[in-house]
Amino acid sequence: MTEQEFPRLARARAAARPDEGQTRPDPAAWVSSLGSGAENDTMLRFAPSAANSIDLTEANSSGVSQLLLGRRTRLSTLLPAGPELDAAHAVSLGLRAKVRELAEERGCDVGARAVGVATWTAEEDGRRERRSAPVLLARVALTVRRGARGRDELEVQITEPARLNPALVRNLRRHHGIALDPEAYQQAAYATARLEPAPAFARLREETAAIADLHIQDCLLVSTFADLGETASLPASLEDLPVVQALYDAGTGMVPRPAALQPTGAPAEDDVAPADERLVVDVDAAQARVLEHAAAGESLVVAAAPGTGQTQTAAALAARLAWEGRRVLVVAERSAALADVLDRLEEADLRSIALDVPANADPELLRRQLVQAVLRSERAVDPDTARDEAALTERRRRLQEHVGSLHHVRPRWGCSPFQAMQALAALTGLETPPATTVRLKRSVLDSTVNRQAVGEQLVRAGELGAFSAAATE
């Protein structure tokens, strides 16, 4: 990376050398320079083959009709028995494995059905390159069922309506000045109750007539497609976002050393009145400290081992910040972690405060969820928690008294019950722990004046075998 790609580094060096100051670049250039991390951009450079896709263009009409109606359809229903079905079966297992891998490890839903492929020659940045982009894409679910001859067989199910390839829309707008309306294409493709791509293809041919060699192939393919190759629309204030500034620093090696967290001045957890608590799940002292500093507006990194309540902390923090009227974005590398956060909110009866935005979100579905959330909020009535808060206050008082008594040092013995239990635990942890059943009565202990002398006598008695099993029978 260069200094131009990391503005804060450029500013720091320009401050040290005022005569060599540099113009701050567009932060979008830095973000786009990071790349997608994908090996192949199948959204614009799709090269279908027998090894990476299943061709259903010539599939059985009855099977295709069943598939287009959104039903689970086996490959044996779509393709005739023979080499073609055997080849599709082999490819299907690899596709499903890749779809599961990316879904679990990256949270990307990449299994899709492509309807039509547009090809043309693009001249970008002074280079001529052949483009091959799916026209319409619909996400599909791939499941394995036990089929004939005892082998696993793939079932394909369309899970959402087909939409215009977003990467195709961006590319034509950016390099050819052609603005495509995705909603208009979806309406054209679904003029009837089922998908009919011909009207959408005709519309695309008409709007791209200026591209002389653009050709649309009418085909139906199942493969993996991930829209990872383009940077999303960036706000003008991107470079001022703390998280982006931190990424700038991390990329240049300018990561500051961790600073110790200073006290926030918030009252101790046990001193907070139940009416003022904002905990929706149980948290320990370390998790409570995280919530305290995050609620105070501090930026921090929490290092925790797997299985120590990471998603529990995230759910507790998200709910607390939401109560303060703040929007919270929860991002995770694995989709399972996000599902765990939602499950924890569900257990607290707060699932409705979270809007789950999948990798390929349906705008209409999100709109309905938001409307329902607003309606629930308007109809909500504050519960009467006075009785529960009073009971909680009383139980907390009794627990605090119990803990205080447990740690209170008794003047007569010079230790607390907790210290006595610790000493007993240390004795039982010895390689040869005490095994005597002799117990001294409270009256004996009360009459003991010189504990040191008595202790020495007891040690001597033990050495002489006074506490052996034979002596105590």
Residue 10's φ and ψ, nearest 5 degrees, are -60, -40
229 vs 466: which has the higher pLDDT: 466
Mean per-residue pLDDT, 36-47: 72
pLDDT surpassing 60 at residue 228: yes
257 vs 428: which has the higher pLDDT: 428
pLDDT surpassing 80 at residue 428: yes
pLDDT for the residue 34: 58
Residue in the structure block whose two tokens are 């230790």? 415
Rg (alpha carbons) of the chain, rounded to whole number: 34
Mean per-residue pLDDT, 223-233: 69
pLDDT for the residue 219: 92
pLDDT for the residue 28: 56
Mean per-residue pLDDT, 417-434: 89
Residue 223 near residue 42 (C-beta atoms within 8 A): yes
% of the chain at pLDDT higher than 90: 24
Quote the mean pLDDT of the chain.
Answer: 81
pLDDT for the residue 6: 43
82 vs 416: which has the higher pLDDT: 416
447 vs 29: which has the higher pLDDT: 447
pLDDT surpassing 80 at residue 38: no
Mean per-residue pLDDT, 222-251: 68
pLDDT surpassing 80 at residue 215: yes
Assign 84 a pLDDT band (cuts: 50, 70, 90). Answer: confident
pLDDT for the residue 11: 47
pLDDT surpassing 50 at residue 25: no
% of the chain at pLDDT higher than 70: 83
Residue 120 near residue 204 (C-beta atoms within 8 A): no
Mean per-residue pLDDT, 252-263: 69
Distance between CA 168 and CA 131 in Å, rounded?
10
Mean pLDDT is highest, among 41-45, 124-128, 434-438, for: 41-45
Assign 234 a pLDDT band (cuts: 50, 70, 90). Answer: low
Please state which of the ranges 90-99, 179-188, 230-239 shows the lowest mean pLDDT.
Answer: 230-239
Distance between CA 352 and CA 340 in Å, rounded?
15
pLDDT for the residue 471: 67
pLDDT surpassing 50 at residue 385: yes
Assign 318 a pLDDT band (cuts: 50, 70, 90). Answer: very high
pLDDT surpassing 60 at residue 342: yes
